[in-house]
Structure 1
Amino acid sequence: MLIIFLKAVLLIPVTLLPILNPLGIAPVFANLLGDVPRQIENRVARQVAINCWFLLVGAIFIGSHVLAFFGISLPIVRIGGGILVAVSGWKLLSDGGNDAAIPKQVAKAYDDESNEELKARSFYPISFPLTVGPGTIAASITLGANTPARLVDWVMSIGSAALGSALTVLVIYLCYRSANKIVSLLGRLGTMVVLRLSAFILLCIGIQIFWSGFTGLLVETGMLPP
């Protein structure tokens, strides 16, 4: 039983980390924050990790039920999410002027007594859709699609999902808290190249997610063979 539990725990990071790609998103995270103090970078990275944990656990346990309640299929989630990711990638690729205001807003939020502004900035667009996007949510929903019937298996499922998601967001936190170090190692030119490439890849990922959802929708309607 312990071996089964550990396999279930490891299944989540092994499945989701290639989709999340926190190391590749780290330069984008650093660009959104700008040249901020180390403590702010750590605090935002920690808040992003917390946000991502709730997103992953929520998608695993209640994602399929929410979609069933509203009558939404996974292809529709991929289409809508793909458009959102593609738009985010296009904004990062074509316009850096609006991002310049974000570091000031994050720093101001850190100095304020209230953390609401910081939490809001850390959630959108960093936590969602840049980190946990529609592809990750769809994969998480798939991981939690089959709910065990027995109580013991259900408790093990909850524990493994919570722990597996925690390991996943720990990797996100470690990558994001070192984002400016990664950028400094790359240098100004290297950072600009990686940032633009990451934005372009993000745009392509959004289009790919949209296309996967569109073809899945055609399969559901019978216009394409499964």
Structure 2
Amino acid sequence: MSSLPLGGALGAFLLGFPALFSIVNPLGGALIFSQVLADRTHEERALLARRVGVYSLLVLLVSLGVGGYVLNFFGITLGALRVAGGLVVASRAWILLTAPEVQEARKEEQAAPASDIEDAAFFPLTMPFTTGPGTISVAIALASSRPASGFGNGAFFAGMALAAALVSLTVWIAYGSADRLIALMGRTGARAVTRLAAFLLLCVGVQILSNGVLDLLEPLARGGVAR
């Protein structure tokens, strides 16, 4: 019995981390973070990086913990939520996989006001630059993969929370070490990592979508068997 929560938490972490890491894209974001804040001192950039990491964790936890229940409140079934969420995740992954430069240009435009704002840690550097609507929608889609009910819910959210914490920690480290990352990887290396992560995100989206389709077809299958 004790192995069930651990297995559920581990499965949730393995599902959540690659998806959240791919859509947040800390490595690609760090390159833009460094460019936009080039006129700030190293200490200021380090402080902003830490705050963005903390705020990103809060946004992810709220999206994972509340988003799915809010949609369920409006009468959206778990199967429908999974199908829609899988489509959202897969479409985001496809954009990242085929045209990462488009995503980079959009993020650079979102972060540009940071150079004119004294305290820009939450807006625009956390939202919408790091954890914008796309990240929130992916987090809600991941939350839809939770067990329908029962003991596994706690283990599921523990695994997802750990994934969110690790992604946020990566954001903090990547943004705080942006200058070193640029020297080490360059834009080409960051795009290669982005494409690899995007492929994993596409696989996660297809998995969520397929689970949703099975959920929707299960009542029909039961009805056929009953006849």
Structure 1 match to 2:25: 28
CA contact (8 A) 1:12 1:165 kept: no
Letter of the 2:169 partner, please give it: L
2:46 counterpart of 1:50 = no
Structure 2 match to 1:88: 92
CA contact (8 A) 1:57 1:161 kept: no
2:124 counterpart of 1:120 = no
Deviations 1:177-223 (A, max 9, x none): 22355955962454332211111222232122212211221113327
CA, structure 1 residues 205+192, in 2 after alignment: closer, same or farther (shift >3 Å)? Answer: same
Structure 1 match to 2:169: 174
Return the offset for 1:175.
1.7
Return the offset for 1:119.
4.8
CA contact (8 A) 1:27 1:195 kept: no
Gaps of 5+ in 1: 148-156
Return the offset for 1:42.
3.3
> After the TM superposition, which residues 65-76 of structure 1 pair with which residues of structure 2 at under 5 Å, given as runs?
66-67=71-72, 69-76=73-80
Return the offset for 1:84.
0.7
> After the TM superposition, which residues 128-167 of structure 1 pair with which residues of structure 2 at under 5 Å, given as runs?
128-130=136-138, 132-134=139-141, 136-140=142-146, 142=147, 145-146=149-150
Deviations 1:137-171 (A, max 9, x none): 0244x38x349xxxxxxxxx99x999887655432
Distance 2:170 2:110 in 1: 22
Deviations 1:42-68 (A, max 9, x none): 333222111012123325xxx45751x
Letter of the 1:177 partner, please give it: W
CA contact (8 A) 1:81 1:210 kept: yes
CA, structure 1 residues 36+64, in 2 after alignment: closer, same or farther (shift >3 Å)? Answer: closer
Q: TM-score, normalised by structure 2?
A: 0.66
Distance 1:27 1:168 in 2: 12
CA contact (8 A) 2:79 2:216 kept: yes
CA contact (8 A) 2:145 2:208 kept: no
Gaps of 5+ in 2: 35-44
The farther-off stretch of 209-218 and 20-29 is 20-29
Aligned residues between the structures: 201
Structure 1 match to 2:111: 106
Return the offset for 1:83.
0.9
> What percentage of aligned pairs have identical amino acids?
25
CA contact (8 A) 1:81 1:133 kept: yes
